[in-house]
Structure 1
Amino acid sequence: MDQDTTLKAADLLMAVRAGGAKLAGLGAAAPQTEAGAWAVQREVLRRLGGRIGGYKCAAPPGRPHTAAILAASGVVPGPAEWAVPAGEKIGIETEIAFRFARDLPPRATPYSEAEVLDAVEGCFPAIEMVISRYTNPGAMPPWEAMADNVAHAGLVVGADVPGWRDLDLAGLTVRQSCGGAVQVEKVGGNPSGGPFVALLWLANHLPTVGLHIQAGQVVTTGSCTGLLWVESQQQVTGGFQGFGEVVVNLA
């Protein structure tokens, strides 16, 4: 993907972020490779004047693995107030996230799960806020979806959970409610089979696209609830039994 095409894709996505109509797609500016998708993400972040606060990722077996940049400005502690764009709904996903104490720089040999987890300083529940810049995000090809940060809008994070290393994070009961009504309650649900699967994949994959996990960054590891769309003027609570919860008040 050449620089001109990257800039054109960023132009289109930034226009939607500025209040323009959503896109059917990026057309001729759509990235045809993963490297091209990351280039668009980084250009959009540059224009927003932001820095990388972390990543979202999922590594489902037998399906394309995906990841996207989280702007540092969009990673906020809960409980939080969140404005829903006028006339729209917002997607809500309850997830398990990690914060890193030190860098995982590129190296010749892959990181083991133990090495990745040893670099983690905190683990906590999180709610990902989802807004796509496309009219039909579910129909987008993988690289085009990645160019739009896989519809990421922000991440509301809960408090660090003591003793998380001793918990079966893949087998926790997740519960999400909206306006006091339970939307989802089930055991497990992580799309990768467990949060460590996605975390390990991301740590070893990022260097192949010129990035790496850095100290202080947050990584969220995929929705355990599925994507649920809700309207404004609601209170959403998401969390896990024995692991804490996060509250978002939608304005």
Structure 2
Amino acid sequence: MNQQDTLENGLASRVAAAFGGLDVVTPGAGELPANIDEAERIEDDIISRLGPIGAYKLGATIAQVRATLGLPRPFFGPTPVSRIFPDGADIPAPVARQRGVESEYAFRLARDLTEADIALDAAGLCAAIASVHAALEVPGSRFSGLGAHGGFALVADAGAVGSLVIGGGQPLGDPARLVDAPVVLEIEGQDPVRGGGAVIDGGPFGPLLSFVRGALARGYALRAGMVVVSGSCTGYVEVPLGRRATAHFPALGTSASLRFAGTGR
């Protein structure tokens, strides 16, 4: 093992150890990744220590966000089963280091995807999706804050995985219908935040094909019943402790909601 491998392993070990609590990880000299490939190696090491995966969140699926973070491509965060909550959940403090939410479409797989599906086209991927759901993502960082050390560190930090709330859904149908559909995020005591899927590159379904190819190439399992959330339709919005956040998806006729419980930091 060379010096760089040792540094990457050390950071991965500390981030994984902090995943279930509120300790803040401060990267040491030379530990932060210099490029996205190094960042993904650290992320893979962390994820291998966290237990079974139940979902995947996609990040930086908007060109402006990638430019801001200095990332050459979108990334993904494999999300442990323990971090997936039902609609209406109270999210406990150790899971919500940062209390911000993003409104996202979640696509549930109808079947296992394997190495043979690396060559899948868009029509084939549509056929492999059982349903599309309302979802709220709570991004999370084990560092002092989201993006505190730049884009590559964000990827290395388990892909900024926090938690997911999955609401109701319906059959996918034509994914193009999601592009211009409105999405409204309501937080108790605040004005609604309005957005939609058009801000995501290619619409909500657009980033999925490259994600499938990349995840399979990196050895991740994509199994029937897993969900993939493909980027924020309303941006990152902070939610006061105890207030309920509800994301409404008129194209689906359903919503997803959560509330942050406990004291947190």
TM-score (norm: length of structure 2): 0.82
Which residue number in structure 1 is paired with residue 256 of structure 2?
Answer: 246
Kept after mapping to 2: 8 A contact 1:192/1:222: no
Secondary structure of 1:213's aligned partner: coil
User: What value does the CA root-mean-square deviation take over the aligned residues?
Assistant: 2.8
Distance 1:226 1:46, change over 3 A: same
In structure 2, the CA distance between the partners of 1:38 and 1:74, relative to structure 1 (3 Å rule), is: same
Distance across 2 between alignment mates of 1:191 and 1:137: 20
Q: Secondary structure at the match of 2:255?
A: strand
Further displaced range: 228-237 or 104-113? 104-113
Distance of 2:9 and 2:175 partners within structure 1: 46
One-letter amino acid of the structure 1 residue matched with residue 32 of structure 2: A
More divergent stretch after superposition (189-198 vs 213-222): 189-198
Which residue number corresponds to residue 105 of structure 2?
96
> Which of 39, 42, 48 lines up with 1:40 in the alignment?
42
TM-score w.r.t. length of structure 1: 0.86
Structure 1 gaps of 5+ residues are none
Number of equivalences: 249
- 1:61-119 deviations in Å (ceiling 9; x for gaps): 48431111111221222121112359965110000011112122123862111111111
- Distance across 2 between alignment mates of 1:224 and 1:57: 12
Structure-1 residue corresponding to 2:195: 186
Q: Which runs of 5+ in 2 are unaligned?
A: 67-72
Q: CA 1:51 to 1:184, structure 2 compared with 1: closer, same or farther past 3 Å?
A: same
TM-aligned CA distance change 1:163 to 1:151, over 3 Å: closer
Quick check: 1:113 aligned with 2:139?
Answer: no
AA of the residue aligned to 1:250: F
Contact in 1 for aligned 2:185/2:193 (Cα 8 Å):
yes
1:189 to partner: Cα distance: 4.6
- Listed one character per residue, the Cα deviations across residues 134-176 of structure 1 (whole Å, up to 9, x for unaligned) are 2243353333211113322110001122464376111111100
Segment drifting more, 105-114 vs 71-80: 105-114
CA 1:181–1:167 in structure 2 vs 1: closer, same or farther (change >3 Å)?
Answer: farther
